[in-house]
Amino acid sequence: MHKQTGRVNALPVIINTPVNRFMIPAFGRPDKSIRLFVLKFLLYFMLFYGFSYAVIALAAPGGYYIPFIKEHFNYVSGLRRMLVHAAYYIVNGLGYTCHVSGYILQVSNGISVHVGVSCAGIGLISFWWAFVLAFPWTLKMKLTYITIGSVVIMLLNVIRIAGLAIIYTRYGRQTIDHHLLFNIVAYAAIFLMIVKSIDYAGELRQIGSDSTRPPTNSN
């Protein structure tokens, strides 16, 4: 007889998680699947996040400034403008007189909210894109999840910007760490999207495996 030790073998628990039930058929062994997923996730995240800040640096006058990048590839600037204009429509629709000046949402009473680079949600979007591309989903599912997740993150950001403008207008400037609060809410939303998307993908895989299973002989 083998002497039983107090050590608990965690491998069955790891294998039985929803993530690994979906990842192992695509990647192989559980240890290989986890390592490969983490490696791909980190590479994609560094690529998206690093590329975005490289564009920001090259589009800013001074240093390594390249006018061509600023004129044709500065998508971060476009994202900031889109966020501030979307927030404008919410604030204006709620009855507040306001206007947009560059990256600033200006309310009529002098309150303004500036949408800086750190407010654009680049890290959150990079995180979501990296996770989706690293996970072994089909191309159609990846494109779908990238689109849905990006819209959710940007919508939360627009609500944050509009909410700050309204709060500042009604109650004056408050000592709110809105960056931390937004990150908590956004990462919670990302976590829920990850759980739901993995569960949904697992259901599709199960349906596919059931449909290809040969019928049993009832005789």
Kindly write down the DSSP assignment for every residue of 26-77, as one continuous string. HH-SHHHHHHHHHHHHHHHHHHHHHHHHHHHHHHSSSSS--HHHHHHT-HHH
92: exposed, middle or buried (Cβ count in 10 Å: 0-12, 13-18, 19+)? middle
pLDDT at 158: 96
**How much is the pTM?**
0.79
**Which tens digit of pLDDT belongs to each residue from 101-147?**
999 999 987 788 999 998 999 999 999 999 999 988 889 999 999 99
pLDDT at 159 over 90: yes
Amino acid 29: pLDDT? 55
Alpha-carbon gap, residue 76 to 50, rounded angstroms: 12
Task: Tell me the two tokens of residue 169.
Answer: 């207008």
Q: What is the mean pLDDT of residues 38-62?
A: 94
Q: Domain ranges in the chain?
A: 18-199
Give the number of C-alpha atoms closer than 13 A to the C-alpha of residue 47, restricted to the C-beta side.
Answer: 12
